[in-house]
């Protein structure tokens, strides 16, 4: 559906379909402006904090929509304390109508058998050992500096490769990189069914983002028993909470050194695996669903 048609349906058709006794929850950053019996989940404040990363029309529309929804909706939900504070700054939402329900993880993101890993890697033509990036190819993901770090790390990590899973998004200003380093492999879109084995087979997941409202790939990787190298900014320290090797995302050298440390220290890598598995247990989709159900029931009543 073209964007204009989608907006029309959302603003005019959706409200007409709601019965007076129904309560609407919109889980993906947007909803009908005129519906007051509703809750809207806004995942982060990036169109306010970094509009330069987005198509100008998308950023302008999103900022306007969120300002309206923050006034008309009964509640605004978000996925981390970091996002909560940024939304408070930009939208002036009162504490009584701003709630945090973190993302979660569950099946199929669990530890994988050697057979499942080998079969998946063979299907994609991946030869271990490798580091893995999973996410949209967009400016906030900081791929330019990751590729610079990978170019530096290759001097010490002969035989390793960098695997990139993800596609570009239509609402962003470019991908955030101009050249692709050697010994890197782009997979494009990877379905959820294949991601657990890709995570589990990796030396580490690298999440070098400049900005994240939550960073689900980091959580999914931890749930699969994969060490995580993550940025030390925005929501990533909150989500990983001591279970990841944190780096300054503005410093490619730190990212490079982190890859070398994980590759060269089996004991440390195993510590991150164990910490990650324990941390992932704190974020279950079942818990998120129960929290959401209780909140929506309180708002409905």
pLDDT in tens, the chain (301 residues): 667 788 889 999 999 999 999 999 999 999 999 999 999 999 999 999 999 999 999 999 999 999 999 999 999 999 999 999 999 999 999 999 999 999 999 999 999 999 999 999 999 999 999 999 999 999 999 999 999 999 999 999 999 999 999 999 888 988 888 888 899 999 999 999 999 999 999 999 999 999 999 999 999 999 999 999 999 999 999 999 999 999 999 999 999 999 999 999 999 999 999 999 999 999 999 999 999 999 999 998 7
The per-residue pLDDT for 2 is 67
Supply the pLDDT for residue 286.
96
Residue 151: closest CA among 32, 252, 3: 252
Helix (H, G, I), strand (E, B) or coil at 78: strand
Q: Residue 242: left if φ>0, alpha if ψ -120 to 50, beta else—which one?
A: left
pTM passes above 0.75: yes
How far apart, in whole angstroms, are the C-alpha atoms of residue 66 and residue 148?
36
User: What is the architecture, at CATH level 2, of domain 3-104+285-300?
Assistant: 3-Layer(aba) Sandwich (3.40)
Strand ranges of the sheet holding 98-100, from the earlier edge strand across to the other edge: 24-26, 38-41, 75-78, 98-100
CATH number of 114-280: 3.40.50.2000
CATH 3.40.50.2000 in the chain is located at: 3-104+285-300, 114-280
Cα 25 from Cα 31, distance rounded (Å):
9
**pLDDT reported for residue 1:** 61
């Amino acid at each position: 559906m073209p964007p204009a048609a989608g907006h029309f349906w959302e603003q005019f058709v959706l409200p007409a379909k709601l019965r007076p006794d129904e309560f609407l929850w919109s889980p993906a950053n947007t909803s009908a402006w005129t519906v007051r019996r509703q809750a809207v989940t806004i995942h982060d404040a990036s169109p306010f904090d970094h509009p330069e990363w987005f198509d100008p029309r998308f950023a302008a529309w999103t900022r306007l929509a969120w300002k309206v929804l923050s006034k008309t909706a009964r509640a605004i939900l978000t996925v981390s304390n970091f996002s909560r504070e940024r939304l408070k700054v930009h939208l002036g939402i009162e504490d009584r109508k701003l709630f945090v329900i973190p993302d979660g993880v569950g099946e199929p993101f669990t530890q994988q058998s050697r057979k499942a890993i080998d079969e998946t890697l063979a299907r994609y033509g991946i030869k271990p050992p490798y580091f893995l990036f999973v996410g949209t190819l967009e400016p906030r993901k900081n791929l330019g500096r990751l590729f610079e770090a990978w170019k530096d790390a290759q001097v010490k990590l002969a035989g390793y490769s960098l695997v990139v899973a993800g596609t570009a998004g239509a609402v962003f200003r470019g991908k955030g990189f101009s050249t692709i380093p050697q010994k890197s492999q782009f997979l494009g879109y990877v379905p959820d069914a294949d991601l657990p084995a890709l995570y589990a087979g990796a030396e580490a997941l690298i999440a070098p983002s400049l900005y994240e409202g939550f960073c689900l790939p980091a959580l999914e990787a931890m749930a699969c028993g994969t060490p995580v190298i993550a940025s030390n900014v925005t929501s990533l320290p909150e989500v990983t909470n001591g279970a990841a090797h944190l780096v300054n995302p503005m410093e490619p050298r730190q990212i490079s050194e982190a890859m070398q440390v994980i590759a060269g220290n089996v004991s440390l890598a195993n510590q991150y695996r164990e910490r990650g598995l324990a941390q992932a247990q704190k974020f279950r989709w079942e818990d998120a669903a129960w929290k959401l159900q209780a909140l929506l029931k309180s708002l409905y009543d």
